[in-house]
Structure 1
Amino acid sequence: MEELGELDNTLFLYILGDNGASGEGGIEGTIVEHRLGHGIVDDPDEMIDHLDEIGGPLSYPIAPAGWALALNTPYQWTKQVASHFGGTRDGMILHWPRGVSERGGLRHQFSHVIDVLPTILDCVGVPAPFSVDGVPQQPIEGASMRRTLADAQAPEHRRTQYFEMCGNRGIYHGGWMAVTRHGIPWEMVPEGDRRFADDVWELYDIDHDWSQARDLAAEHPEKLRQLQDLFLIEAAKYQVFPLDDRVTERENPVMAGRIDLLGDRNSITYRAGMRRFTEECTLNVKNRSHSITADVDLPEEAAEGVIIAQGGRFGGWTLYFTGGRPAYAYNYFGMSLYTVRGDEPLAPGRHEVRLDFDYDGGGLGKGGTAVLLVDGERHATGRVERTIPYYFSFDETLDVGVDLSTPVTDDYPVLDNEFTGILHTVRIDLDDRSNRSAEPSEFDGGLHRRVMGAQ
C-alpha cells in the first residue's frame, strides 16, 4: 500500500480478538476439547501423565478457566458470557492518517462490532445496498463511529445495545449496564432445568466503573427495572426470543431443531477426490442407524488406505483397507477405538464393501453393532459401545479416498493414506425410519427452557 501511495488513504481496523478468552476448559482444563464439549471431564492425574503431549499432534487442549480469567482481567467472566465484559469487550485499533489527523488518540464512546461496517461505508462514501443480485437486504443495525474519530468528546453514536448468548444477557443504555449470567462456560451439556426467572441481575455504572467491579443493583432498583424492561424491548425487536440456553446440543441440527442443509435427504453419493465436507454439509450419521457402501476396484497387491473418513484422532469414523482387508474404525474422543476388520485379504478386482451400523437407540450417544459386508456377504461384526452424540469436530472434515489432517486410527499413516485401488463411488444411507434419538425424554427439558425464555 505504501508503494502505491495509498497507505495513508487506507482505512485499517484491527479488532483484538472475537470475544473474551475461553473459559470452556473448566477448572481442570482438558487435553481434548471435544470431550468437555460433551460433558466429559478429564482426570487431572491422567492429564499430568500426558503433559508433554500438550501442544503436539496428540492433543487438542484448552487451558483451565483460571488462565482465561487472568487474560480477561480486569473484566469479569469469559467467552460465552455475553453479560459481562470478560466475554465481550475487545480493543480496536484504527489507522487512517488522511481521515484522522490525531496520532495515538483514545476513544471511550461505547461501540459494538455491528458498527464496523457502517463506519467503513461512511468513511469511503458508499451507501449501504438496498438489494444485492435482486435480493432485498436486511437493514444494517449498526451506526457509524466516524464522528468520534475527529472528536474525542463527540456524543456517543450508540446509546443502547443488547447482548445475549446461551441465556447470558445484558443491556447497555446511556452509560449504565444491567447484566445477568445464566450459565457457566464449561458446563456445555448442562443438567437440570435452569429457569431464566431465577437469574440474578446486576447493575453497573459503566461511565464510572468500566470494569464492572461494583454491583449497584441494590442501590438503584428503579434503574435496574428500567434496563430489564429495555432488554425485553430490544430482544423482541431483534428476534432474540425465545431464549435458548443450550450449548453443545445446538451443534447438531437435528437436536437443535433447526433446518438441516441437506433437508430430508437420506442418501448421498460421493466420488474419489471429493474432500473437506464440514459436518453440516453432509449427512448426519449421529444417533441413528446408517450404512456406508463403497464400489471399489482392488489392485493386485494388497489394498491399503482410506475409502471415506469423517473427523480424526479426537473423534470420528473411517472405512478403509489395511493389508488388503476391509476395516471400519470408530474413534470415541480419543478415549476408545472400536475396530471391525475382515480376517482375510480380498481378491483383486471389483467389489462392493458395505458397513451397516445398527444403532441401539434409547437416547443420545448410545452404542451400536457394526457389520462389514463384502459383495453382500457378512465379513466381520463388532460392537461400538459408545458414540459421539453432538459433533465429531469443529475443523476436521469428511474426506473421500483419504483421511486429511489427523487420522481416525493408527492403522494407516497420518500422511500418504490415500486408497491404493480405484474408488468408483461411496454412498451414505440413513435409516429412513424416524431418528430414534429424538424421543420426548430427550427434548422436553430443553424445549421447556426455551419457551420460558421470554420471562
Structure 2
Amino acid sequence: MKPDRHARTMLPIPDRPSPGLTTYDAKDPDTAYPPIEPLMPPDGAPNVLVILLDDVGFGASSAFGGPCATPNAEKLAAGGLKYNRFHTTALCAPTRAAMLSGRNHHSVGMGSITETATSAPGNSSLKPNTKAPLAMTLKLNGYSTAQFGKCHEVPVWQSSPMGPFDAWPSGGGGFETFYGFIGGENNQYEPALYNGTTPVEPPATAEEGYHLTEDLADHAVSWIRTQKALMPDKPFFVYFAPGATHAPHHVPTEWADKYKGRFAAGWDVQREQTFARQKELGVIPADAELTARHAEIPAWDDMPDELKPVLERQMEVYAGFLEHTDHHVGRVIDAIEDLGVLENTIIYYIVGDNGASAEGTVNGAFNEMANFNGMAALETPEFMVSKMDELGTPSSYNHYAVGWAWAMNSPLQWTKQVASHWGGTRNGTILHWPKGITEQGGVRSQFTHVIDIAPTILEAAGLPEPTMVNGVMQSPMEGTSMLYSFNEPDTPERHELQYFEMFGNRGIYHKGWSAVTKHRTPWVMVGGAMIAFDDDVWELYDGSGDFSQARDLSAEHPERLHELQRLWLIEAVKYNVLPLDDRTADRLNPEIAGRPTLIHGNSQLFFAGMGRLSENSVVSIKNKSFSVTAEVDVPDGGAEGVIIAQGGRFGGWSVFVSGGKLKFVYNVLGIQSFETEAETPIPAGNHQVRMEFAYDGGGLAKGGGVTLYHDGEAVGTGRVGATQPMVFSADETTDVGYESGTAVSPDYTPQSSRFTGKIQWVQIDVGDDDHDHLIDPEERLRVAMARQ
C-alpha cells in the first residue's frame, strides 16, 4: 500500500503545487508535469451504505425476534454482526442529526424536531459550522456521496423553495445527490419529493402501483450502478433512509394480508411470544426479564370487543409495511452484491431511528393528524370499524395503537419519545463488512450509540477527523468508534457515558448503570397536566444483570442514583441540554418559541405557480377569521381548477372553480368536509373573487360562516362546522394555480387541478375582516413592498 500523500485534517485538502523547472516550450524534452489524479480516499477505503429505518421498535423485526418478517436483515446479520445494545435519541430528527455529525443531538441544535425549535442553542435546529457532517468530510476526501429518502433536519424557516439550502442534503449537507423528502413523514403513495433542491412529482400514481419506498430503492440502485460504472475505483457513501415505517402506515394490501389472523391474541401475548423468540435467537441474554405493562397502556383484554378487529388490522398493515420495506432494502444490497463490491462495503442496517411510535393514540388512528390536533375523539370506534378495510391504502393516513408500539419494543419499557427508557432509544442494528469482520452471525453487546457511526466510518476508511472544514475550526466528534468491537466480541466497551433527553424524559448511562426519569407520555399530545421537573421520579438500573431495565434499584442504592443524577446534570450543561423544555403547543408558535418565521403581519401575497410551500411558509389561518382574494382572468366558456389550496385529502382547505363556479371546501382531517359554492359562474374577463371566513370564536377548532364574492358582490354563503386548530399536515403543502400531493376536495385530482384561466395574484388576510370586499391595488403594492 503506497503512503497517502495528502494531509487530510484540513478540508478541502489544500492544493500545493510542487516547485520544479518551468520550460518555455511544451515540446522541450525537459517539460514534465505529474498526471492529474482524481482525489481519492486512502487505498482500501470501503464503500459505505447506511440504512436507517423509521419508527421500528427493538422487538419488531424478525432479525431481533419480532413478528415482522425481515429476511434481508436476517441474511445480512448471518454474514455479519448484530448489536443488541445500540442506542438512538428517541426521536427521528435528533437521531439523524446526531448520526450524520458524530455529535450529540443537542450539540448540533436538534434537541427536538425542527417544527418545535426554539432560540435555545440545544433546540435551535441549527447545526454549528464547527460540526461538519460526515458526508461532507467523506466527499472532501474523495468519496461519491448520495442520500435517498427522509431528511428532517432542515430548519422550518429554511424549508421553502427559496432556501437557504445550507442544511439541505445536497446544499450544505455534503451529499452530491439527494432524492427524497424534507420533513418528518410523507404520504407513501403521493409524496412531496425533491431532486436536490428542486420539487418533483412522483413518476407514477398510486393507481399505477407507485410506492415511495420502491421509488427510493429504484433511485438508489440506479445511482450505485452508475457510480460503479463510471468511477469503479472510487468508493461511495450512500445513506438510504426510507420514510418507512413511520406513519402513515401505507403498504399494498397483499403485503398486509400475509399477516391475516396473526395478531388475534393481542399485544400482551405478542410481547411474550417475541420475548421467547428473542431468547431463542440469543439477541437478548438468557437472564433478561420481560418488563411489565404500565397502567397507562391498556391491556388487550380491556379493549372494546368491537374495536379488536380494527386493532388487529392495524398491526397486520404495519407488519406488511416493515416486510415490504425490508424487501426494497434487499434490492439495494443485492445491487451492491451484483456489482461485486459487497466484500469491501460497510453496511449499517439500523432497524429504527427510535423505539416504536406510540403517537397513534390508545385506539390507533385512521388519520394520525387527528391526535396532533387534539381531535382524536372524532375517530369513534364506529368510525374506525367503518374504515378498517381502508387501512394502509391511499385513502387512509393511519397509525397503530399504543399497545402495538409497546409490543414492538419487547422486552423493553416505553416507546418512541421516551428517552429515559430503552424502549425509546434501543434499536437493533446489523453491521456487515466481509473484508473487515471475520465472524459471521455474531452478537455484540458493548454499549453503542448513533453518534458512534461517523467515527467508525472514518477509522475504517483510514481518515482522520478533520480539524478544519471550509475554513472553520472543528470541534471533536463526541462518539466513539465501534471498530474495536468488530473482531473482539468480549473486549470491554469504550462508550461508557451517555446522556439522554427528549421532551423532559431523561436518562444517563455510565459503566453499566442507568438512571432514568419519564416526564411525559407520548400519546398525550394536547392538554394533560405536566409536573415540575424536580418532582419527576427517578429509577436506577444495573445493566450488567438487567438487560431490559426490569428491576428498579433506586431504593437499594440511593447514593448511586444521586451520583448519576449529578452526572446527568453535568452532561446536560456540557452539551446544551438546558434549559429543559416540555412545552408542546407553545413551541409550535414561532413568536413564543423564538425562531425565525418567513411570514410577518396579517397578510400574505402569492402569485401563480408558487407551490410546495410548507405550513411554516404560509400565514396561519387557524382559529381566526380570514379571507382569500384573487384577481383572475376567466376565458370565454368559463374556467376550472384550483386558485389556492393548503393541505390535502387528510385535512386542509381549497378555493377553486368547479363547473365555472367559485367554490370553497374546508376538509377536517378527511373525516368531515364543508362546502360552499357560488350561485352563479364567474363571468368571462378580469375579476376579483373572494372568500371570507368569519370565525365563531370562543376557543380552538370552532366553525364559522363563509361568504363568496365576485367583484365585491356576495354570490354564495355557507358554513364550516369545525376547523383544525394546530396543523393541517406533516407533508402536504400550499400551492397556487394547482394542487400537488393529494386533493383537498374530490371535485378534482392533482392531475386535473391546474387553473385553466390566468391568476394575477392571490392574497390571504387574517384578522377581524373589518375591511372592504375589494383590496385596493395600492394596498397590495404596500403589502408586497413591506415583505421584501
Q: TM-score if structure 2 supplies the norm length?
A: 0.52
What are the residue-to-residue correspondences of 1:135-154 with 2, within 5 Å?
A: 139-154=476-491
1:436 matched to which residue of 2?
none
1:374 partnered with 2:710: yes
CA distance in 2, matches of 1:141, 1:365: 45
What secondary structure does 1:11 align onto? strand
Q: 1:262 aligns with which of 572, 591, 598?
A: 598
**Amino acid of the structure 1 residue aligned with 2:397:** Y
1:345 partnered with 2:672: no
Q: 2:461 aligns with which of 100, 106, 124?
A: 124
Contact 2:418 2:424 in 1 (8 A): yes
Identify which range, 359-368 or 215-224, moves more after superposition.
Answer: 359-368
Q: Which runs of 5+ in 1 are unaligned?
A: 434-455
1:186 matched to which residue of 2?
523
Contact 1:254 1:260 in 2 (8 A): yes
1:28 partnered with 2:377: no
1:447 matched to which residue of 2?
none
Q: 1:9 to 1:265 in 2, by over 3 A?
A: farther
Q: 1:260 to 1:372 in 2, by over 3 A?
A: farther
Instruction: Return the offset for 1:166.
Output: 1.7
1:56 partnered with 2:386: no
CA distance in 2, matches of 1:386, 1:353: 24
Contact 2:586 2:593 in 1 (8 A): no
Instruction: Return the offset for 1:109.
Output: 1.0
Q: 1:240 aligns with which of 562, 573, 577?
A: 577
1:310 matched to which residue of 2?
646
What secondary structure does 2:676 align onto? strand
1:445 matched to which residue of 2?
none
Instruction: Tell me which protein shows more strand as a share of its residues.
Output: 1
**Amino acid of the structure 2 residue aligned with 1:203:** L
Q: 1:432 to 1:127 in 2, by over 3 A?
A: farther
Instruction: Return the offset for 1:124.
Output: 1.4
**Amino acid of the structure 2 residue aligned with 1:222:** E
Q: 2:384 aligns with which of 44, 47, 52?
A: 47
Instruction: Return the offset for 1:164.
Output: 1.3
CA distance in 1, matches of 2:470, 2:604: 30
CA distance in 1, matches of 2:469, 2:623: 40
1:73 partnered with 2:418: no
CA distance in 2, matches of 1:350, 1:138: 60
Contact 2:599 2:619 in 1 (8 A): no
Instruction: Return the offset for 1:4.
Output: 5.4
What is the number of equivalent residue pairs in this alignment?
432
**Amino acid of the structure 1 residue aligned with 2:363:** E
CA distance in 1, matches of 2:710, 2:471: 52
1:223 matched to which residue of 2?
560
Instruction: Return the offset for 1:137.
Output: 5.0
Contact 1:38 1:248 in 2 (8 A): no
Instruction: Return the offset for 1:290.
Output: 3.7
1:278 matched to which residue of 2?
614
2:444 matched to which residue of 1?
107
CA distance in 2, matches of 1:48, 1:69: 22
Q: 1:132 to 1:370 in 2, by over 3 A?
A: farther
1:14 partnered with 2:369: no
CA distance in 2, matches of 1:413, 1:307: 14
What secondary structure does 1:233 align onto? helix
Q: 1:284 to 1:134 in 2, by over 3 A?
A: farther
Q: 1:86 to 1:345 in 2, by over 3 A?
A: same
1:203 partnered with 2:540: yes
CA distance in 2, matches of 1:132, 1:391: 38
Instruction: Return the offset for 1:175.
Output: 0.4
1:392 matched to which residue of 2?
728
1:426 matched to which residue of 2?
762
Deviations 1:187-240 (A, max 9, x none): 111323422223221111112111111111111111111111111111222222
1:328 matched to which residue of 2?
664
Q: 1:315 to 1:228 in 2, by over 3 A?
A: same
Q: 1:280 to 1:135 in 2, by over 3 A?
A: farther
Contact 1:249 1:255 in 2 (8 A): no
Deviations 1:31-56 (A, max 9, x none): 11111222223222331122222222
Q: Which runs of 5+ in 2 are unaligned?
A: 1-335, 770-788
Instruction: Return the offset for 1:74.
Output: 0.7
Identify which range, 327-336 or 68-77, moves more after superposition.
Answer: 327-336
Deviations 1:59-81 (A, max 9, x none): 22211111111111111111111
What secondary structure does 2:622 align onto? coil
Deviations 1:337-387 (A, max 9, x none): 232221100111222223344445554434444443322333334443432
**Amino acid of the structure 2 residue aligned with 1:202:** E
Deviations 1:306-339 (A, max 9, x none): 1111111221111111111112221222333232
Contact 2:452 2:482 in 1 (8 A): yes
Contact 1:268 1:427 in 2 (8 A): yes
**Amino acid of the structure 2 residue aligned with 1:33:** E
**Amino acid of the structure 2 residue aligned with 1:82:** A
CA distance in 1, matches of 2:596, 2:448: 34
Identify which range, 67-76 or 422-431, moves more after superposition.
Answer: 422-431
Instruction: Return the offset for 1:171.
Output: 1.0
CA distance in 2, matches of 1:424, 1:235: 53
Q: 1:395 to 1:256 in 2, by over 3 A?
A: farther
Deviations 1:262-302 (A, max 9, x none): 15365444333333222123333323444333232223233
Contact 1:266 1:432 in 2 (8 A): no
Contact 2:630 2:688 in 1 (8 A): yes
CA distance in 1, matches of 2:533, 2:614: 33
Contact 2:447 2:495 in 1 (8 A): yes
**Amino acid of the structure 1 residue aligned with 2:507:** G
CA distance in 1, matches of 2:737, 2:472: 39
CA distance in 2, matches of 1:358, 1:182: 40
CA distance in 2, matches of 1:377, 1:157: 74
Contact 2:599 2:617 in 1 (8 A): no
Q: 1:91 to 1:320 in 2, by over 3 A?
A: same
Contact 1:13 1:94 in 2 (8 A): yes
Instruction: Return the offset for 1:255.
Output: 7.2
1:450 matched to which residue of 2?
none
What secondary structure does 1:8 align onto? helix
Q: Could you say what the CA RMSD is over the residues aligned between the two structures, in angstroms?
A: 2.6
Contact 2:743 2:750 in 1 (8 A): yes
2:152 matched to which residue of 1?
none
**Amino acid of the structure 1 residue aligned with 2:562:** R
Q: 1:176 to 1:96 in 2, by over 3 A?
A: same
1:37 partnered with 2:349: no
CA distance in 2, matches of 1:308, 1:349: 19
Instruction: Tell me which protein shows more helix as a share of its residues.
Output: 2
Contact 1:340 1:381 in 2 (8 A): yes
**Amino acid of the structure 1 residue aligned with 2:444:** R
Contact 1:260 1:280 in 2 (8 A): no
What are the residue-to-residue correspondences of 1:291-302 with 2, within 5 Å?
A: 291-302=627-638
CA distance in 2, matches of 1:362, 1:8: 65
Contact 1:37 1:248 in 2 (8 A): no
Instruction: Return the offset for 1:256.
Output: 5.6
Deviations 1:116-149 (A, max 9, x none): 1122122213334455544555543222222222
